[in-house]
Amino acid sequence: MGLFKNYVSQTRKPEGALGKVMIAGMNSGHAKMADWGMSHLPKCRPSQIAELGCGGGRNIAELLKKYPDAHVTGIDYSPLSVQKSAEYNQPAVASGRCTIQEGNVQNLLLPENQFDFATAFETVYFWGNLENAFRQVHKILKPDGFFLIVNESDGHDDASLKFEQIIDGMKCYTAEQIADSLKKAGFSRCQSAHHPEKPWIVLLAEK
């Protein structure tokens, strides 16, 4: 149980050898879920995107492909994730289309009213004070900007609730709980969707 707990706990803040394995698994294992979540993005032509909790960087790459005129800023509080995400997106970083830096959603040191939208894939479980974190996201968005949240867990599925008991600091939220925190943080409207066959959820909130 000790090694298993150490491994799955890498989902919270990857580090060391186990963290490298976890990051590689995240990039491949979460791809279908992330793509399903991105399918809910409204049609737009953003110039600035923030990817919060960017992990191994796969979703940054997909956003860069989807929006070829946009610059993507990736944020993660794991130094290893920042390193791996930068390696994954090295050409975009080198060309100036992508910036990846260490940061914490509880105190986002990013320009206010700067981003057309922000994304958070499979990460809000570890954000602690959701209302404060969402308020931080709200302040970096442009007027009418939006925030996309994609979770593998809907807060009810047995598998995720089991991991919640194993991984320190993990909390599986329902769509209703997330929407409530978004509204308290100042977002004006929030839509949600549930995958027809899996416990995946997506929420799209507008500033």
Place 56 in a pLDDT band, splitting at 50, 70 and 90.
Answer: very high
Q: For residue range 155-197, what is the model confidence (pLDDT) as tens digits?
A: 999 888 887 888 788 899 999 999 999 999 999 999 999 999 9
Give residue 27's pLDDT.
79
Dist CA 168 CA 15 (whole Å): 15
pTM: 0.93
Exposure string of 20-43, with b = 16+ CB inside 10 Å and e = fewer, is bebbeebbeebeebbeebbeebee
Place 1 in a pLDDT band, splitting at 50, 70 and 90.
Answer: very low
Dist CA 61 CA 72 (whole Å): 9
Give residue 143's pLDDT.
96
Nearest to 117 by CA among 78, 70, 85, 76: 70
Give residue 42's pLDDT.
93
Give me the helix-helix angle, 16-29 and 31-38, nearest 10°.
Answer: 50
Q: For residue range 65-85, what is the model confidence (pLDDT) as tens digits?
A: 999 999 999 999 999 999 999
Give residue 61's pLDDT.
98
Domains defined for the chain, CATH in brackets: 2-206 (3.40.50.150)
How wide is the angle at C-alpha 33 spanned by C-alphas 64 and 176, nearest 5°? Answer: 110
Mean pLDDT of 31-60: 96
Mean pLDDT of 37-65: 96
Asked if the model's pLDDT at residue 25 lies above 90, the reply is no
CA 14 to chain centre: 15
DSSP string covering 153-203, please?
--S--HHHHHHHHHSTT--PPPHHHHHHHHHHTT-SEEEEEE-SSSS-EEE
Give residue 5's pLDDT.
61
Mean pLDDT of 51-64: 96
Give residue 9's pLDDT.
57
What percent of the chain is predicted at pLDDT more than 70? 91
Q: Which helix (H) or strand (E) holds 34?
A: helix 31-38
Which residue reads 């499979």 in tokens?
A: 122
What percent of the chain is predicted at pLDDT more than 90? 79
Q: For residue range 95-123, what is the model confidence (pLDDT) as tens digits?
A: 999 999 999 999 999 999 999 999 999 99
99: left (phi over 0), alpha (psi -120 to 50) or beta: beta
Which residue reads 């968005």 in tokens?
A: 141
202: left (phi over 0), alpha (psi -120 to 50) or beta: beta
Amino acid at 205: A
Q: Six-digit token pair at 195?
A: 């995958």
Asked if the model's pLDDT at residue 7 lies above 70, the reply is no
Nearest to 136 by CA among 50, 58, 45, 202: 50
Q: Provide the mean pLDDT of the chain.
A: 91
